[in-house]
Amino acid sequence: MSAFAGKAFVVRLDETSAGDRSTLISDLTFLVEHQVYPIVIAPNADAARALVRTINRSGNSAVGLSGADAAMLPGAANGLGNVQAGILHTLMGGGYIPVVEPTTFSAFGDDVAVAADDVAQAIASATDAVRAIFFHALGGVPDPHTAQLISELTAAEALDIAEQANVPIDLRTAIRAAALGVRSGVGAAQIVDGRVAHATIVELLTTRHLGTQVTGGVYF
């Protein structure tokens, strides 16, 4: 765990894992206790608010954020501008867990919902996260020939798979976000099934490998 201490650790929830929080809360608490700074990206605003309430029933540590808070996620022509990460660093430094709803801030109109995967990638890159975890019900990236989950991908390999039309669109966006995060300096990105017990931290504590990991090198 010492290699992760003092670092941001981004967790992007999907709809399924947002509703099944049996070990997520204890995992987030464990990270904070070991001076790792989790940032949770919820799939939508309602899920973000529900998670904040759940975390704060056992400890007053979660703070809900929208893209408008401290103009953290400004809107842009392509959907998302440069992340203003100051509020995130302030909260993490104070021992709080930011829970982010995927919306962008508009100075001239209503806030706009954007893809949670894109928000997770942008925040992970802006905070130099040591890890970004993307929860997906498939539990990783299946090999098109064997249907077995691929253990490791380089960013280039992941981006190639993300362009394949036979891959589910929601998995393609997660793969693309994971790859772009790694290319922007995130230590590694994982696509895992968030319903697995302690999926957020199992690879930090054991040699067990879950899902698909995207890194800057080849590990086949």
Question: For the domain that residue 93 is a member of, what is the CATH number?
Answer: 3.40.1160.10
In a domain, 204, yes or no: yes
Look at the chain and report how many structural domains it folds into. 1
Is 2 a member of any domain? no
Identify whether 3 is part of a domain.
no
Q: What is the pLDDT of residue 217?
A: 54
Q: Which two tokens stand for residue 184?
A: 């922007």
Residue 220 lies in a domain: no
pLDDT score, position 138: 92
The answer to whether position 1 is within a domain reads no
Backbone angles phi and psi of 97, in degrees to 5: -105, 110
Distance CA 141, CA 143 (A): 7
pLDDT, position 218: 43
Question: Can you give the pLDDT at residue 208?
Answer: 67
Q: Could you tell me whether strands 189-192 and 212-215 are parallel, antiparallel, or unpaired per DSSP bridges?
A: antiparallel
pTM of the predicted protein model: 0.93
* pLDDT score for 219: 39
Please classify residue 209 by burial: count the beta carbons closer than 10 Å to its beta carbon, then call 0-12 exposed, 13-18 middle and 19+ buried.
middle
Domain boundaries, position 93: 8-215
Q: What is the chain's pLDDT, residue by residue, as a tens digit (220 residues)?
A: 778 899 999 999 998 887 776 789 999 999 999 999 999 999 999 999 999 999 999 888 999 999 999 999 999 887 899 999 999 999 999 999 999 999 999 888 788 999 999 999 999 999 999 999 999 999 999 987 788 999 999 999 999 999 999 899 999 999 999 999 999 999 999 999 998 889 999 877 766 678 999 998 543 3
Q: What angle do CA 43, 40, 14 make, to 5 degrees?
A: 30
